[in-house]
Amino acid sequence: MQKLFHKSPVFAGCCFGYGLSIAFLLMERLLLDWSYTEKWVYIDGTLRLLFGLAGLLILKGIRKETFVEQFKKKIDKKVIIYLVPIMIFFMLEITLFAFAENIIFSHINSFFLMWITQITTGLWEETACRGILMSGMLLKWSSTVKGRIACVMISGLLFGSLHFFSFIYGNDMISCLWSALYTSLWGMFMGAIYMVSDNLLLVMFIHAIWDIVVRIPDYFMEGYREGILLNTVYVLQDIIQLAVFPIAAIGICIVSAKFYHESEANAKCCTE
């Protein structure tokens, strides 16, 4: 694995990361019956955890001495500023409570049970689609603006394409296409955050929180009072997802002069 990564880092990173993701989708489809019971959540969470741990082993083999740094590297204040679009999106999501016809708490146990799936999703998807998949591209391309933009765009598109495959679970093709679009642009943004922070734990945390927050309406709100204000919230959220995320991702690639100071160190590690 190390020898292949040294010879073709971009190809190897994409193959290992994308291949692990495809393997998960196939395994999940074979093992789960999709009746979404408590048992389903535990099985699904365990599967995601195991694939996440497998991904970490692969990533450790790729990054060697710099592997541990991805979980303890100090987060620069600029990175917090870059996360403002996500914070605004969360605020808009919470404002939906103001438009709910009924606020319910009968599903609160299911809400917290759902955290198992979302936390383990943050672990395995970020390990595979940011840590592994982007490793070779960052090693080869992070020194130039064009290279960094290519890195976040390609990684985002590959991440989004994985969500298109949700049709194997019975989802209609139109829904799969929209899911692929939204997750591709979100993936670009997350890729830029990972690239500038070099902190895998950070993007794991953001991913898990995102998946939890966007599901709050499903568990606590019943019906909405339609109107211009509610539509405005939806439009603002779409603007953030469809425009702000990709523009911000490209902007981060352009304005951040220093990416991956340890690229040379990584290259040396690969040759050892």
pLDDT, position 34:
60
pLDDT, position 257:
66
- CA 6/CA 272 separation, integer angstroms: 10
pLDDT of residue 269 exceeding 50, the answer is no
Low-confidence winner among 64-68, 87-91, 189-193, 265-269 (lowest mean pLDDT): 265-269
CB 158 within 8 A of CB 47: no
Share of the chain above pLDDT 70, in %: 92
pLDDT of residue 2 exceeding 90, the answer is no
Rg of the chain (C-alpha set) = 19
On the CB side of 66, CA atoms within 13 Å amount to: 19
Residue 77 neighbours by CB distance under 10 Å? 7
pLDDT, position 62:
87
On the CB side of 170, CA atoms within 13 Å amount to: 5
Low-confidence winner among 65-69, 185-189, 215-219, 233-237 (lowest mean pLDDT): 65-69
* C-alpha to C-alpha distances, 193 to 84, 117, 252, nearest whole angstrom: 12, 23, 8
pLDDT, position 33:
67
> Which residue is listed with tokens 């840590």?
131
pLDDT, position 250:
96
Query: Which phi and psi (to 5°) does residue 100 adopt?
Result: -70, 135
CB 71 within 8 A of CB 188: no
Mean pLDDT of 10-35: 87
Element (H, E) at 199: none
Average pLDDT, the chain: 89
Tens digits of residue pLDDT in 106-139: 999 999 999 999 999 999 999 999 999 999 999 8
pLDDT, position 128:
95
Q: Which three-class secondary structure string do you get for 113-161? A: HHHHHHHHHHHHHHHHHHHHCCHHHHHHHCCCHHHHHHHHHHHHHHHHH
> Which residue is listed with tokens 């917090």?
80
> Which residue is listed with tokens 């290519």?
150
- CA 93/CA 231 separation, integer angstroms: 12
Residue 247 neighbours by CB distance under 10 Å? 14
